[in-house]
Amino acid sequence: MKAKGEITVLMVCVAFGMSLMGCTERKNAQESAFDNGETGDSISAVAEEGAEEAFIPHAADELFDDFFFNFAANKGLQRKRIQYPLPIYKGDVVTSKVNKGAWTIEQFFMPEGYYTLIFDKMEQVDIMKDTLLNHVVVEKIFLDKDDIKQFFFDRINGEWMMTSIKQIPIDESPNGSFLNFYRRFCDDEDYQLQSVNDLVTFSAPDPDDDFNTITGMMVPEQWPAFKPSLIPRGTIYNINYGQMCTESNEKVFLIRGIANGLESEMIFHRKNGVWKLIKFMS
């Protein structure tokens, strides 16, 4: 008999009721605002009130995530932390420049209540906590339009500033192959089933015990029963913190809730040009 928390799933478990978006408690109160539910709640409240306050504590500029959460939620801060006139590129050509009075507030992923990240490997995830970063690119990915809008940020004199915006087609991104695959994966249920590996490893909170975790294996036929309740589609996001992003054969797709502790990950592997889901965790 297997110990609790190590259940191998090779038959449909009717009562399992698992969602990939299971709750996980953040354990470090000093982590980024993206990971801190209390901080996220307070920032969300400020955003709802339409605050124009342009000040944030100096410490919020140490981690890019802390700065960016404030930047997306605070209208006054956003207007202040842009270098004007802001150049807008299409490819390598500047097509226009935006002055302060013409800037339209960008809420990024705040309305959705979650955001997504793409890495080549799990080891790259730790770069989010690097306080020495000086250049970060936030990508707004329009899957339906085959287009990526890149927002460039640089730390200048200790303060993060948006310095330019660039528009590129998905095919020019190092994540291009994966994004073209994911565009179909998120919209086509039959294609999802075809894209599940012969055996998929999973790990999720035990629905009967908040302090335990269930791990196991599932087969493609079980995907409809166990697939995550949220598979982002349409417009998704990615943040490049300076990690080397390549056309690799593995992609880690993270989904993180804002101010609610939700987190999940899906790992995809490409073999002979075909992407397959090999692992998911929540």
Residue 245's pLDDT is what? Answer: 78
Residue 212's pLDDT is what? Answer: 83
The mean predicted confidence, pLDDT, of the chain is 83
Q: How confident is the model at residue 223 (pLDDT cuts 50, 70, 90)?
A: confident
264-270: which pairs have CB atoms within 8 A and are 24 or more residues apart? 264/20, 264/21, 264/22, 264/228, 264/230, 266/20, 266/228, 267/122, 268/178, 268/181, 269/197, 270/177, 270/178
**If you compute the radius of gyration of the chain from its CA atoms, what whole number of angstroms results?**
20
- 84 versus 9: the higher-pLDDT residue is 84
Instruction: Report the distance separating Cα 257 and Cα 253, nearest Å.
Output: 14
- 26 versus 103: the higher-pLDDT residue is 103
Residues 85-108: tens digit of each pLDDT: 999 999 899 999 999 999 999 999
Which residue, among 39, 36, 41, 33, has the nearest Cα to 67 in the 3D structure? Answer: 33
Which residue, among 10, 20, 15, has the nearest Cα to 205 in the 3D structure? Answer: 20
235-240, strands of its sheet edge to edge: 93-98, 86-90, 159-169, 147-156, 135-142, 235-240
Among the listed ranges 8-12, 63-67, 131-135, 198-202, which one has the minimum average pLDDT value? 8-12
Q: How confident is the model at residue 152 (pLDDT cuts 50, 70, 90)?
A: very high
List CB contacts of 86: < 8 A, sequence separation 6 or more: 97, 98, 103, 162, 163, 164, 165
Residues 36-51: tens digit of each pLDDT: 333 333 344 334 444 5
The percent of residues above 90 in pLDDT, for the chain, comes to 65
- Read off the pTM: 0.80
Instruction: Report the distance separating Cα 243 and Cα 90, nearest Å.
Output: 23
If DSSP codes are grouped into helix, strand and coil, which group holds residue 203? strand
List CB contacts of 186: < 8 A, sequence separation 6 or more: 143, 231, 232, 233
* pLDDT (mean) for 226-247: 89
Number of residues that make up the chain: 282
The residue assigned the tokens 């500033």 is 161
**Beta strand pairing status for 86-90 and 93-98?**
antiparallel
Residue 205's pLDDT is what? Answer: 66
- 248 versus 213: the higher-pLDDT residue is 248
Residue 132's pLDDT is what? Answer: 95
Token pair of 173 as six digits? 């991104």
Residue 56's pLDDT is what? Answer: 83
- Asked whether the predicted pLDDT for residue 163 surpasses 80, the reply is yes
Which residue, among 52, 41, 14, 61, has the nearest Cα to 207 in the 3D structure? Answer: 14
